[in-house]
């Protein structure tokens, strides 16, 4: 980032960051997944550590090396992520949900590989809803004053969609990215606006994910006081 290395404004704080994208198994060789690279969550973890925080990074299937000086917990599914987040949140001053959590998972898991059947069309895959980890964290805070931060990738009217989502989730901050072809997923750079429950809006110009991460930590540090 562009900040001074002496500014350890998160010293003494514990922050929890989720990153990557969950995978929901269908059988031993297949899963439902998404295109999240984990880069934004890892940038959040690195920048928080650089600012002096104790960092727990809950990594869902990100093909990235563990950042130095960060406690990394690897998870696969949304339900594993939920358990890991709840455990880590007990001591956290802030929880940032940068992971792309699968909204649905296959209703059934086949313990053996699903095979083609000669002359037959495949069975449809039934799906069920996953828990909304962010909404649960916001509704049932592990500590008074704990800050809960979400991310949202939106198209069309991204501000209106973001405002509605912030209210629906009950979180303190929502980082809204505009997505499209080659935008945000896997990219090194992104453009965003951070919406706050108090009504404030912080635009973050197109730039490196570290810069967006530092803006999120600025807003968090400010609110933690
Ligand atoms: N999230 C979560 N648990 C879920 C789904 C999403 O914790 N089951 C979190 C994500 O980590 C992110 C935020 O909620 O921080 C917003 O995710 P998003 O997919 O944009 O929200 P949804 O409510 O699933 O809305 P949509 O129907 O637009 O996908
Ligand atoms: Ca979703």
Q: Does some domain include residue 6?
A: no
Cα(84) to centroid of ligand 1, in Å?
17
What is the best residue among 21, 150, 168, 170 to mutate for testing ligand 1's pocket, by most ligand atoms within 8 Å of CB? 150
How many folded domains does the chain comprise?
Answer: 1
Position 3 confidence tier, pLDDT thresholds 50, 70, 90: low
User: Lowest-confidence range among 1-5, 30-34, 58-62?
Assistant: 1-5
**pLDDT tens digits along 186-219:** 777 778 999 999 999 999 999 999 999 999 999 9
Q: Does some domain include residue 117?
A: no
Q: Quick check: ipTM above 0.95?
A: yes
Q: Kindly report the CATH number assigned to the domain that includes residue 146.
A: 3.40.50.10300
Cα(3) to centroid of ligand 2, in Å?
32
Q: Residue 37 belongs to what domain range? A: 14-106+125-224
CB 46 within 8 A of CB 5: no
Q: Which ligand sits nearest to residue 151's alpha carbon?
A: 1
Phi, psi dihedrals of residue 92, rounded to the nearest 5°: -85, 140
Q: Does some domain include residue 8?
A: no
Q: Does some domain include residue 43?
A: yes
Query: How do strand 189-196 and strand 173-178 relate by DSSP bridges?
Result: antiparallel
Pocket of ligand 1 (CB under 6 A): 78, 97, 99, 101, 103, 130, 132-134, 150-152
Residue 86 CB-density burial (10 A; 0-12 exposed, 13-18 middle, 19+ buried): middle
d(CA 125, CA 142): 36
Query: What is the set of active-site residues?
Result: 34
Does residue 112 surpass a pLDDT of 70?
A: yes
Residues 87-101 have a mean pLDDT of 98
Q: Does some domain include residue 70?
A: yes
d(CA 131, CA 143): 21
Q: Does some domain include residue 56?
A: yes
Give the pLDDT confidence score for residue 163 in this predicted structure. 97
Long-range contacts of residues 161-165, Cβ cutoff 8 Å, at least 24 apart: 162/193, 162/195, 163/195
Of 85, 127, 136, whose CA–CA distance to 102 is shortest?
A: 127
Give the single-character DSSP code of 108.
S
Q: Does some domain include residue 197?
A: yes
Q: Does some domain include residue 113?
A: no
- Beta partners for residue 204, in sequence order: 192
């Amino acid at each position: 980032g562009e900040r001074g290395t002496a500014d350890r404004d998160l010293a003494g704080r514990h922050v929890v960051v989720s990153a990557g994208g969950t995978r929901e198994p269908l059988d031993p060789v297949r899963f439902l997944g998404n295109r999240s690279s984990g880069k934004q969550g890892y940038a959040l973890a690195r920048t928080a550590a650089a600012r002096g925080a104790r960092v727990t990074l809950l990594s869902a299937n990100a093909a990235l090396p563990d950042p130095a000086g960060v406690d990394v917990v690897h998870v696969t599914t949304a339900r594993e992520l939920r358990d890991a987040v709840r455990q880590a949140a007990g001591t956290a001053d802030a929880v940032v949900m940068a992971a792309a959590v699968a909204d649905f998972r296959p209703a059934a898991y086949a313990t053996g590989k699903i095979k083609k059947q000669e002359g037959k069309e495949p069975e449809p895959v039934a799906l069920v809803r996953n828990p909304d980890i962010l909404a649960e964290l916001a509704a049932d805070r592990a500590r008074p004053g704990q800050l809960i931060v979400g991310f949202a990738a939106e198209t069309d009217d991204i501000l209106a969609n973001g405002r509605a989502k912030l209210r629906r989730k009950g979180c303190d901050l929502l980082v809204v990215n505009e997505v499209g072809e080659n935008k945000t997923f896997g990219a090194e750079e992104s453009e965003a606006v951070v919406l706050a429950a108090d009504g404030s809006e912080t635009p973050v110009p197109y730039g490196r994910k570290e810069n967006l991460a530092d803006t999120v930590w600025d807003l968090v540090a400010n609110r933690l006081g």
